[in-house]
Amino acid sequence: MLESVIGLEIHLQLKTKTKMFCGCATHDSAVTPNQNVCPVCTGQPGSLPVPNEQAIRFGIRMGLALHCRIAEASKFDRKNYFYPDLPKGYQISQYDQPIASDGFLTLGEKRIGITRAHLEEDAAKNLHGADGKTYVDFNRAGTPLLEIVTEPDFASPQDAKAFMQELRLIARYLGVSDADMEKGHMRCDANISLRERDAQGGIVGMELHPKTEVKNINSFRNVERALQHEIKRQTELWNAGSPPSVSTTRGWDDATQTTKEQRDKEGEGDYRYFPEPDIPVLALTDMAERERSRMPELPAAKRARFADEYGLRAEDARQICDDPALADFTENVFSELQAWLESQTDLDAEGAIAERRRLANLVSGWLLSKLGGLMAERTIDIRTCKINPENFAEFITLIASRKLNSSAGLVVLGTMLDDGSDPSHIMEDKRLGAIEDEGAIAEIIERVIENNADMVERYRGGKTELLQVLIGQAMKESEGTVDAKIARNMLLVRLENA
Ligand SMILES: [Zn+2]
């Protein structure tokens, strides 16, 4: 049986204000080509690179999040090759002393080894003009990148995609990168080979076969697709008795959804790596300790805590923690709800746990599906949403104590979203509180019976499915303020007793 062996190389653009080795602003702020350039990032003779301290801190932070060892001494090297978008004729990168190495990231039950993470500068960008000429835009030249290399520990394209998504989330939690693949803040090359296992699970032949490197993967979806395509292509080669015998490089072609062979991969020797003589060795121990003490809570820890502390379902906790701003909002909501939970003094220990769980489910239901839906309709998100955590928590207590039913709740939530007002005021304004007075509900039911005499007659004649329509009428009559269950029961009593 064939199995796939996959490793990833990810380039993460660090969110610094200036470039890796000069004071130019990074290219995201540039409006016109060759706007953010200077002698250093255009490789003028005699110019000297000065490493960006913030980029080094960001690299260390990411290394710590990936459980890496941070180098006590780290240095920069020149990686030599010739290409029009590389003004110096070499790229400043890190060869044998990267800032971080030997780490891992757990994905559920799986542990993915991190070989290394090193700093380097991005190249410029070639622009192919309509006039048939190629132009070079140096705005991107010198942008700080962190290259993260994994062990070949992925057994499936899905795992590779899940890893990329977790990496993006970690980068966002740490504030080191926006990690937006569509904007090129995160780029991925994937290495893949196949190998054979016998029926007992033993590896047949070589453990690792010559690999194919797939370049230019520009979205999470394409990470999965490109690898699926390669597995299919290589499986056919294996089945034909001619598995890949040398390492090759292929590019992902979005238009045809296939990979195409590119130039043969240069060996390390071709790059003639040597130490960058203009930058001293970096002593990182103190900086690493400072960064370690400043590390925020990471997504995996936050998800576990949200489930444990607040009683959220694992899947809800995951969805909430996928957005750092939503996670902060939720945290504040639960801290507001704590007082309300503590006021429920008539509950025993078991009842308190059940109540906490009920509240957690109300929060996730109203936050993710209902508020999430309303925000999606208005193309806003939690950052631009006018509802503050205090008001949302108050809203949840109104629902939890059944002072507000769900259809009236939706109206209140919509108004809160419009103007940021608090739910109690909206309920008073719109008279949306649940009608608890049975006399008042009875009056509404009476009006429904009177206004729908025809339907009532047909119901009594055996068309019992009309009950739903009549309940609907009662909800409409009360503008959603009666409890549907109570309306149903009272309607049944009235309909059965003419
Ligand atoms: Zn510059």
CATH classification of the domain holding 488: 1.10.10
In angstroms, what is the span from residue 135 Cα to ligand 1's centroid?
18
263 shares its domain with 375:
no
Distance 17 CA to ligand 1 centre (A): 12
Backbone angles phi, psi at 441, to 5 degrees: -65, -40
Give the distance (Å) from ligand 1 centre to CA of residue 114: 31
Distance (Å, whole) CA 122 – CA 153 = 27
* Integer Cα distance of 67 and 82 in angstroms: 35
Residues 319 and 420 in one domain: yes
The CA 119 to ligand 1 mean position distance, Å, reads 17
Tell me, in angstroms, the distance from the centre of ligand 1 to residue 124's CA: 11
Q: Are residues 36 and 138 in the same domain?
A: yes
Q: How far is the CA of 57 from the centre of ligand 1 (A)?
A: 20
Instruction: Give residue 40 CA to ligand 1 midpoint distance, Å.
Output: 5
82: CA distance to ligand 1 center in Å?
Answer: 20
pLDDT one digit per residue (tens) for the chain, 498 residues? 899 999 999 999 999 999 999 999 998 888 899 999 999 999 999 999 999 999 999 999 999 999 999 999 999 999 999 888 999 999 999 999 999 999 999 998 999 999 999 999 999 999 999 999 999 999 999 999 999 999 999 999 999 999 999 999 999 999 999 999 999 999 999 999 999 999 898 999 888 999 999 998 989 999 999 999 999 999 999 999 999 999 899 999 888 999 998 876 556 668 999 999 999 999 999 999 999 999 999 999 999 999 999 999 999 999 999 999 999 999 999 999 998 888 877 888 888 888 899 999 999 999 999 999 999 999 999 999 999 999 999 999 999 988 888 888 998 999 999 999 999 888 877 766 666 667 778 888 888 888 998 988 898 888 888 888 888 888 888 777 777 778 888 888 888 876
27 in the same domain as 131: yes
Ligand 1 centroid to Cα of residue 69, in Å, is 31
Q: Give the range of the structural domain holding residue 210, as residue numbers without chain letter.
A: 2-293
CA of 70 to the centre of ligand 1 (A): 28
Domain final residue pick, 382, 408, 430: 430
**Both 69 and 187 in a single domain?**
yes
| Distance from residue 9's CA to the centre of ligand 1 (Å) | 26
Same domain, 147 and 243: yes
Verify that 110 and 84 share a domain, yes or no: yes
What residues does the ion ligand 1 have nearby, CB within 5 Å?
22, 24, 38, 40-41
- Please count the CA atoms within 13 angstroms of the CA of 360 that sit on its side-chain side: 20
6 and 122 co-located in one domain = yes
DSSP state of 156: S
CA triplet 343, 347, 349: central angle to 5 degrees?
115
| 287/384 same-domain check | no
Do 75 and 187 belong to one domain?
Answer: yes
* Cβ count within 10 A of residue 84: 11
Give distance in angstroms: CA of 141 to centre of ligand 1. Answer: 8
Same domain for 286 and 331, yes or no, is: no
Q: How far apart are the CA of 45 and the centre of ligand 1, in A?
A: 13
CB 244 within 8 Å of CB 212: yes
Which of 430, 452, 472 terminates a domain? The answer is 430
Last residue in a domain, options 388, 407, 430: 430
* Residue 266 CA, ligand 1 centroid: distance in Å: 28
C-alpha 54 to ligand 1 mean position (Å): 16
Q: How many domains does the chain have?
A: 3
Please give the Cα distance from 139 to 137 (Å, whole number): 6
Residue with the two structure tokens 């104590």: 401
* Contact partners, residue 70, CB within 8 Å, separation at least 6: 60, 63, 64, 99, 100, 284, 285, 288
Q: Are residues 276 and 129 in the same domain?
A: yes
With b for 16 or more beta-carbon neighbours within 10 A and e for fewer, the 59-80 pattern comes to bbbbbbbbebebbeebbbbbbe
CB 152 within 8 A of CB 208: yes
Residue 85 Cα to ligand 1 middle (Å): 14
**CA 139 to ligand 1 center in whole angstroms:** 8
What is the C-alpha to C-alpha distance for residues 6 and 190, in angstroms, rounded to an integer? 7
- The DSSP line for 231-291 is HHHHHHHHHTT----S-EEEEEETTTTEEEE-SPPPPGGGGT-EE-TTSPPEE-HHHHHHH
